[in-house]
Structure 1
Amino acid sequence: MDIQQLIDHGYAIKVYPKDTLIYEPGMVPRYVYFIKSGEVRMVTVSEDGKEFIQGIFKMGQYFGEPALIINRKYLAYTIANKESEIIQVGRKQFFDLIETTPGFSINLIQTLSNRLFYKSMMLEELANEKAEHRLLTIINYLLNDIEVGDSLKVTRQDLADMTGLRVETVIREIKILSDKGLIEVNRGKIIRPNKK
């Protein structure tokens, strides 16, 4: 779904300042959130306050639809990583979009499938004790979404939160992976290399 189409159909844009909570566990879903600009992270928080990143959503993407589709309360927090412009689409309007917008239902299936694949992959990785293997898997997964020569736009802290590792471990393992030639690092940034 093109964000401009939503704007053209009269949907309002709401601005969420950096670090604003959009929704939290236990809330009843009322909207699907389409990102016009900015970035949002979805996290679960452990009892000791450690965040585990479930996903990061960027401009042109949307989130919140699984809970809305099955009418279940949210299980995670969503927080604006930076100031974000977001369009809220209510339940009825969202189902209308699925029925009336060519290609949107296929896009929705692909989006949900990607998220399911990511969750399955991460469950398998969290069961793996080896930090190097965990980190390499998530880096390779993230590299698939960028162009050759571009760098990952995630911090070492993000990688730690995604893998359940400590930041110090991530920093050490990135150096090891780079030294082994398993990843390419340029000026501290992990980049997608040319395929050999």
Structure 2
Amino acid sequence: MKTISCMKIDEQLLKSYSAENKTYKEREAIFREGESPSFYFQIIEGSVKLNNYNDEGKEFIHNILGKGQSFGDPLLFIDKQYPVNAVVLKPTTLIRVPRKNFINLIKENPHISLELNACLSHRLYYQTIMMQNMASQNPLARIKGLFNYLKSYSDCEDTHSFNIKLTRQQIADLTGLRVETIIRTIKKMEKDNLVKIKDRKICY
């Protein structure tokens, strides 16, 4: 079954609705938990993580996004504050559209609205599957749930065609597992041909 990648809106169309490019430095926050949504964000170059912290200060990473991917858009349609932070992992350039202008773009371009609905539904589906796997005590189920969720944002369909652009530590943070458990389980996945390792990079 073909996956639906995270929707990328044409940059010229975005600019016709007063979009602007903005560059961020490593570790700079794009927005913080509790702030009100003001923009649609789409990554031109770089990498962004969505995270928050529990009462004990432990970080939980919800997702790591890269070139061509958007984030924060679901909250533009409801009166809610951000439940996560968006933090830059490496120097990043975004294109962003003010909330009101983005709503107008959707209204005036129905095909974008349909694509956005499909993208959001797809994300919700895979997020639900991932959460079910995260409840498992089996490390393999947790890691596969995460990898399937990340792969759902791409156009990769074939086995071993998707590059997991995460460190072992980031995978541990996303799954709530120890780094040692991640390393051991991924080695077993490689042995069982569930992944291939090329120059320490994981292909799923």
User: TM-score band, normalised by the shorter chain?
Assistant: 0.7 to 0.9
Secondary structure, aligned partner of 1:71 = coil
CA positional deviation for 1:43: 1.0
- CA RMSD of superposed structures (Å): 2.0
Of the candidates 139, 146, 153, which is equivalent to residue 147 of structure 2? Answer: 139
Deviates more, 1:131-140 or 1:162-171: 131-140
Asked if residue 190 in structure 1 is aligned to residue 202 in structure 2, the reply is yes
Structure 1 gaps of 5+ residues are: none
CA positional deviation for 1:150: 5.1
Of the candidates 95, 102, 105, which is equivalent to residue 94 of structure 1? Answer: 102
Aligned letter for 2:80?
R
Query: How many percent identity over aligned positions?
Result: 35
Of the candidates 4, 8, 11, which is equivalent to residue 3 of structure 1? Answer: 11
Per the alignment, residue 174 of structure 2 pairs with 162
Please give the alpha-carbon distance, in whole angstroms, between the structure 1 residues aligned to 2:117 and 2:124: 10
Please give the alpha-carbon distance, in whole angstroms, between the structure 2 residues aligned to 1:82 and 1:165: 24
Of the candidates 124, 132, 141, which is equivalent to residue 124 of structure 1? Answer: 132
Structure 2 gaps of 5+ residues are: 1-8
Whose RCO is larger (CA < 8 A, sep 6+)? Answer: 2
Please give the alpha-carbon distance, in whole angstroms, between the structure 1 residues aligned to 2:119 and 2:135: 25
Alpha-carbon spacing, 1:143–1:70, altered in 2? closer, same or farther (3 Å): closer
Native 8 Å contact 1:25 1:76 kept in 2? yes
Secondary structure, aligned partner of 2:137 = coil
Instruction: Report the count of equivalent residues.
Output: 192
Deviates more, 1:151-160 or 1:181-190: 181-190
Please give the alpha-carbon distance, in whole angstroms, between the structure 2 residues aligned to 1:25 and 1:142: 22
Of the candidates 158, 166, 181, which is equivalent to residue 193 of structure 2? Answer: 181
Of the candidates 75, 98, 102, which is equivalent to residue 83 of structure 2? Answer: 75
